Structure 1
C-alpha cells in the first residue's frame, strides 16, 4: 500500500475543527462570485444553484431512480420552482408565470414577481456588465436597454448625477440604490462632430473611442414628473463638453440615459404573484433559460443595503434556494446549511453541505479515497482505467453536452490569418488526446456543436490532416513554421489542462515546426486574461445552457460577451440572427449549419473533444442524477447508510499522481475520519 503524504501537498483543508457535514464534494477552483449577474464558471454555478432558484428548475422526472439503471443518462427538463406554473400564448411569445405564494427569501420575506423584474433589470443594466446579459436579449427591448440604444420618440429613464444629499447615489461606484430617476420622451439629440481616426486604428479601438466621444451627446427630453407639468430638459453624461454643443437649456449631469425599462422591456409584474414575459420571437428553449442562474432573482433590499460585492458575504446574503451560505473559508470550503424558509424544505434531505475548494484532481481523488469526499467532480485521467475496473459502482460517466476547445485571439498580429488558425486546428490529433490522455470515453471534436441534438446535423468535420495543415501554413506565409514567433497557450492551472497543452505543443512542433510556450494561471487570473484578450491561444470549455445548437453558436457573434476571441464576421452574425426568428425547424437548423461552416473555416476556436462526465460518488449517496448537462441539484440528493455502515473500516486507498491506484479495502465504504465527508 502506497500512502501519499497528504499534509504536504499544499492546501488548507481542515477536517478536525468543524461538525461533520452530511455531504461533501470538491468544487474545483475558488469561486469568483455568487452574484448571478457576474458569475460565469462551473464552481460558481453549483453554489448559486444551491442558494438561489429561478422561475423553473432543471430536474429529472418523478420516479427516475426506478426507471433508469446505473450508468445511463437521465432526461432532465425545466420544472416548476419559484413559479408553480406558467402559460404560453398561442404565438409562443408571451409567457405568464405564477409565483407560488409559499416561496420565501431566507430572511422570511416573500418572493414576488417584482423581485424578478428588478433582478433582470440589474442583469441587463450596462453598468452591471454581466457577461450573461445576452441570455435576456430574447425579451422585447432587452438588447436596447443593455446597450443603451435610444431613438427619437422613445420613453427614457434618466439616472441623475446628484449629490447624495439631493437624492444621489450613497456611493458613486455602487449602481444600487440608484440615484433619482426621471422619465420622459426623447425629442432631440445633439451629437458632437464625428471623430477622425488614423487609417491604422483597428475597428475595436475606433468603436471604444467613438463611444467615449459620444458621452458629450445632449439628450433633450420631454419630462413629466409626478405632480408637475411637462417640461423640456437637457441631459448629458459629460456636461463640460456638451455645453460647447448646446446652450438652449441648462444641461443636467446624468449617470445613465437609457430606454425606460418599465415601458420598453418585455418583463412586467402584473401583481405580486404574476410575471408576464414578452419575447421578440417564439423561443422554444426559453423555459430552460429561466432555469439558468443568470435569470435567477436577487433580493433587492439586500443588494441595496450592502452594495456589491458585500451583499454576497455570508453574513449579508439573502437567497431563495434550498440552502443558505453559512460561511466561506478561502482555500478551504464553503459551508451550506438547509434553508428552513425554502418552499420545498420538507423534501430537502441534506442539512449541511461542504463544497471544498480543490484545484488539483489528484488531491480530490485522494480525499475521496480517504473518505473525506462523497462526490469528486472530476478525477485524474491517468486513473480512469483503474477506476472503471475497481470502482465501477462509484464511477458515473456518460456523454454530456460540453465541448473542450481552444480560443484564439484573432486580434494578435501573429494569429490574424485564418489559414494559420485552420492549420493549427488540422494539426491536432484529437483521437490521440481522447485515447491516451482523457481516457474516459470522450469523442474527438471535429465541430463545435456536440452530437445528439435533435434535428441538427453539422457541416463537414475539420478532421486531422497534416498535409493540408502544412499547405495552409505555407499559404499563410510560414512554410514549415519558418518566421512564426512561438505561440503561447494559456490554461487554468489544472493537471489535465497542462497535460493536454503539452501534447498539443508537441503536435504543433512535430507536424508544423511551430513552437509553443505554456502558461498556467490561477482560475480568477485566467478568466480575467481571457476576457481582456491578454492571451494568444487559451484553453476553454462550454457546457450547454439548454439543449439547442444556439447555445454553442451564438457565443461567436460579434457582440457576445463570451466571444472573447476578437473575431467578427457579419455573415455569421446574420445567420445566427436569422435562426433566432426562424419558426421552421428544418430551415433554422440549416442556418445553424451554414454558420458553423463559417466558424470551422475561419477557426477563431479550435474544438478538441466532447466531454463525458467523470464523477466519483459514494454508494451511500442517492439522488445523484447523471445527465447530459452534468448538472446535479443538491436539493434532491440524500444519504442512505448501508446496514453494515457501523462495521465499515476507514478507507486506505491513495493516488500517487501516476497511473496507479493502490487498493485497500475496496469492498467497504470509506468512512470519514475527523468528521466531514
Structure 2
C-alpha cells in the first residue's frame, strides 16, 4: 500500500463509521407515527395502473381516491361482519341510464390534488387511457373492458374505416422504456387498409421463441391511414387528409424508408371510440357495452383511480412515484418509502375530507415474518398485525383484541397447462383428488377456513357454485394411471412456487407429502420474494404456483372472468371457447339468467381444473384496543383514513 494511502486509510475508516452512524440514526431518530401496521411484502409499485397485489392495495387506497369508494359501514351483524357499501369519492353517486349502460359522474366541488391543483374529469379519462394502452401492460386493464372500446384499445383490435391514432417514435426520454406516457406526437386519421404478411407457423406461442416470432410478425404489419389535420379546435375529421403508411418495425428496409414511417402503435382513437366523454372539467360520462351491476364498485378499485397527468409526464415512470415527486388525491400522501423497512404516509391537507382524518402519520411496515409481526405487536411497535403465526392461531383467536371473520377470497394453486404433464386434465384432476384439504385447514391453517371445491367463495347470497370433486386418493391413482403414470412411475418432479411466507411454506410441505404418499409423485418447493414471484407468475415461468384472489367486488364475476382466454390474470395457459362464450353471455344478461350462465362457466372450469382450489380464507387480525375504526367485513377492506384513536364514544 503506498504511504499516502496508508496515512489516509484510518481517516477513510472513520468516515465509513460516521456514515454508518448517521444512517442508523436516521432510522432510530424518526418521530413515531400515530399508527403502525404490518403490510407484508415490500410493495412492487405505487403506480395504480401497474399494481396487482394486496400489499399495494392498502397503500394505494390511502394515497388515491377514485370516483367512488367502497367502505365498511353500519352495525356489525350476527356473524360479526360489517357491510360494505359504495359511497361518494371524488364524485357524487352517478346518474345511471334506464338501460344501465351509461353512467354520468359529476365531480364534487373543491376536489384537489396534493399540490393544490384541481382534480378534473379529464384526469380520469387520461388515466384510464394510460391503463388501457397496450404498452403500459396493466394486468388489471380488463377492469375497463366493460367500457365501450376498452378492450379494442387495449388489444389493438382494428377494422377498416376506424378512426385511429398513430404515435410517432419521438417520445421524451423516460427511465422506463416500457412506459408510453409521456407520449410522442400522436396523429389521427381513418384506417384505409391493413396489410399483413403470411402468419408464421409457430409450434408453441407461449414459449419465448414463439412470443418473439409472433411479435415480429405483428410489428411487420403496414397500416395505411388517411391522416386528418389537427387544429386548436381538435381533429377535422371531414377535411381532406394525407395518406401515410405506418409500421411498428424499427428497422425499415432502405428501399422503403421513404414511404413507411415507424410508429409505436396504431390504435383506435381513444377520444372518439365513445366509451369515455368529458363534456367539461366536472363531468365524466362512461358508456358500457352491457349493463354491469358492479361497475360502481370498480370505480373505487385502484386500477380506475386517476393519477396526476402533469406529474406522470414530467417525471415519467417509475420516477413519478418517488416521494419527492408524487402528486396524489387521497387522504394521505407519501412521506417516504424505505425498501425492506416501511412506507410512511402523512395526512394530505388538500383531501376534501381531511378534517375527518384523525391520524397524521401512518407507518406501513414491510414485515413478512408472522413471528416478527406478532412480537412487534406485543411490544406495541405495531398496532395492527394482519398475518399471525399458524402455530398459535387458535390461542390468538381467543384474545379480546383479535378481529376474526370470513373473507370473500380463495387460496389456490395455479397449474401451468402448457407444460407436460399438466397439459393433461387427467393429471390435473389426480393432483386435486390427492389433496386432503380438510387436513390443511384443520392441522395447518387452523383458523376456521373452509376447504374449497369451487373457485367462488360461498358468501354470495345470490349465487351457488356447482359441486367440485373432493378428496379421493384411490380415484386419483386411477386417473394418474390412465394418464400413463401408474403408481407415479414416469412422473417428473413438480415444482411448487410460492412467495416467501411461513404459512405458504407449511401448506406446500403438506401437499408435497400428500402427493408423495397418495400418488408417489415428488414435488420440490421454490420460494421467491414478492416482486420476483409476481414476475414469474405473469410470465408463466413456473410449473405450479401458489395463488390467492380477493374479490374486487361482491359478485361471482370477479372470480370467473379472470380465467377467460388472454386475460392477464389467467397465467395458466388454459383456454376454453365455451367458457369464454358463457362469460361473455353473462355480461349481457341479468338477474337469475346471469347467475345461471356464470354457474355453467364455473362448472366447465372445475372439470378442466387449470387451478386447484384449496380453501376459502378467514382473516385473523390483531388490532390494538387503543384504536377504533376496524371491524371484520367480507371484502376485508379496512381504509386507513377511518382508523382513529379510541375514545369514550367507542365503548
> After the TM superposition, which residues 294-373 of structure 1 pair with which residues of structure 2 at under 5 Å, given as runs?
294-373=303-382
2:508 to 501, 504, 515: 501
Q: Name 1:218's counterpart in structure 2.
A: 222
Q: Which moved more, 1:47-56 or 1:571-580?
A: 571-580
Structure 2 counterpart SS, 1:613: strand
| d(CA) in 2 for partners of 1:538, 1:556 | 15
| d(CA) in 2 for partners of 1:435, 1:13 | 46
| d(CA) in 2 for partners of 1:68, 1:485 | 50
Residues 490 and 537, structure 1, Cα contact 8 Å, conserved in 2: yes
1:179 equivalent to 2:187? Answer no
Q: In the TM superposition, what is the alpha-carbon distance from 1:626 to its structure 2 partner?
A: 1.4
Q: Which moved more, 1:482-491 or 1:124-133?
A: 482-491
Residues 242 and 457 of structure 1: CA distance in aligned 2, closer, same or farther (over 3 Å): farther
Residues 142 and 265, structure 1, Cα contact 8 Å, conserved in 2: no
- Give CA deviations for 1:293-343 in whole Å, capped at 9, x if unaligned: 000000000000000000000000000000010001111111101000000
| d(CA) in 1 for partners of 2:484, 2:251 | 50
Residues 86 and 97, structure 1, Cα contact 8 Å, conserved in 2: yes
Q: Name 1:608's counterpart in structure 2.
A: 614
Q: In the TM superposition, what is the alpha-carbon distance from 1:365 to its structure 2 partner?
A: 0.5
Residues 403 and 631, structure 2, Cα contact 8 Å, conserved in 1: no
Q: In the TM superposition, what is the alpha-carbon distance from 1:71 to its structure 2 partner?
A: 6.8
User: Which structure 2 residue ranges, 5 or more long, are not aligned?
Assistant: 1-23, 232-238
Residues 73 and 627, structure 1, Cα contact 8 Å, conserved in 2: yes
| d(CA) in 2 for partners of 1:183, 1:445 | 51
Residues 129 and 265 of structure 1: CA distance in aligned 2, closer, same or farther (over 3 Å): farther
Q: Which moved more, 1:275-284 or 1:529-538?
A: 529-538
Structure 1 counterpart SS, 2:454: coil
Structure 1 counterpart SS, 2:223: strand
- Give CA deviations for 1:180-200 in whole Å, capped at 9, x if unaligned: 1111111122222x13426x4
Residues 252 and 262, structure 2, Cα contact 8 Å, conserved in 1: no
Residues 152 and 69 of structure 1: CA distance in aligned 2, closer, same or farther (over 3 Å): closer
| d(CA) in 1 for partners of 2:166, 2:52 | 30
Q: Name 1:652's counterpart in structure 2.
A: none
1:156 to 156, 164, 168: 164
Structure 2 counterpart SS, 1:58: strand
1:236 to 214, 227, 247: 247
Structure 1 counterpart SS, 2:92: strand
| d(CA) in 1 for partners of 2:468, 2:563 | 18
- Give CA deviations for 1:574-601 in whole Å, capped at 9, x if unaligned: 1111111113x22211111111111111
Q: In the TM superposition, what is the alpha-carbon distance from 1:209 to its structure 2 partner?
A: 2.4
2:439 to 411, 432, 446: 432
Q: Name 2:597's counterpart in structure 1.
A: 591
| d(CA) in 1 for partners of 2:434, 2:338 | 44
Structure 2 counterpart SS, 1:353: strand
> After the TM superposition, which residues 165-564 of structure 1 pair with which residues of structure 2 at under 5 Å, given as runs?
168-171=171-174, 173=177, 174-192=179-197, 194-197=198-201, 200-202=203-205, 209-226=213-230, 229-238=240-249, 240-241=251-252, 250-389=259-398, 391=399, 393-564=400-571
Q: In the TM superposition, what is the alpha-carbon distance from 1:411 to its structure 2 partner?
A: 0.9
| d(CA) in 2 for partners of 1:517, 1:39 | 29
1:85 to 59, 72, 93: 93
Structure 1 counterpart SS, 2:125: helix
Residues 296 and 155 of structure 1: CA distance in aligned 2, closer, same or farther (over 3 Å): same
Higher relative CO (Cα under 8 Å, sequence separation at least 6) belongs to: 1
Structure 2 counterpart SS, 1:84: coil
Residues 456 and 556, structure 2, Cα contact 8 Å, conserved in 1: yes
| d(CA) in 2 for partners of 1:531, 1:226 | 39
Residues 60 and 76, structure 1, Cα contact 8 Å, conserved in 2: yes
| d(CA) in 2 for partners of 1:242, 1:290 | 46
| d(CA) in 1 for partners of 2:251, 2:79 | 66
Q: In the TM superposition, what is the alpha-carbon distance from 1:14 to its structure 2 partner?
A: 9.2
Q: In the TM superposition, what is the alpha-carbon distance from 1:118 to its structure 2 partner?
A: 0.3
| d(CA) in 1 for partners of 2:494, 2:121 | 50
Q: Name 1:656's counterpart in structure 2.
A: none
| d(CA) in 2 for partners of 1:170, 1:32 | 23
Q: In the TM superposition, what is the alpha-carbon distance from 1:631 to its structure 2 partner?
A: 1.1
1:40 to 27, 46, 52: 52
Q: Name 1:53's counterpart in structure 2.
A: 65
Residues 447 and 618, structure 2, Cα contact 8 Å, conserved in 1: yes
Structure 2 counterpart SS, 1:505: helix
- Give CA deviations for 1:622-668 in whole Å, capped at 9, x if unaligned: 0113111111001111012689xxxxxxxxxxxxxxxxxxxxxxxxx
Residues 210 and 84 of structure 1: CA distance in aligned 2, closer, same or farther (over 3 Å): same
Residues 13 and 333, structure 1, Cα contact 8 Å, conserved in 2: no
| d(CA) in 2 for partners of 1:348, 1:69 | 26
Q: In the TM superposition, what is the alpha-carbon distance from 1:382 to its structure 2 partner?
A: 1.4
Q: In the TM superposition, what is the alpha-carbon distance from 1:452 to its structure 2 partner?
A: 1.9
Q: Name 2:578's counterpart in structure 1.
A: 571
Measured on the aligned residues, the alpha-carbon RMSD in Å equals 2.0
- Give CA deviations for 1:380-433 in whole Å, capped at 9, x if unaligned: 1111111123x1x21111111000000011111221111001110111111111
Residues 157 and 257, structure 1, Cα contact 8 Å, conserved in 2: yes
Residues 72 and 637, structure 2, Cα contact 8 Å, conserved in 1: no
Q: In the TM superposition, what is the alpha-carbon distance from 1:351 to its structure 2 partner?
A: 0.5
Residues 195 and 85 of structure 1: CA distance in aligned 2, closer, same or farther (over 3 Å): closer
Q: Name 1:5's counterpart in structure 2.
A: none
Residues 553 and 596, structure 1, Cα contact 8 Å, conserved in 2: yes
| d(CA) in 2 for partners of 1:131, 1:552 | 15
Residues 206 and 577 of structure 1: CA distance in aligned 2, closer, same or farther (over 3 Å): farther
User: Which structure 1 residue ranges, 5 or more long, are not aligned?
Assistant: 1-11, 163-167, 644-677
Q: In the TM superposition, what is the alpha-carbon distance from 1:461 to its structure 2 partner?
A: 2.2
| d(CA) in 2 for partners of 1:70, 1:574 | 39
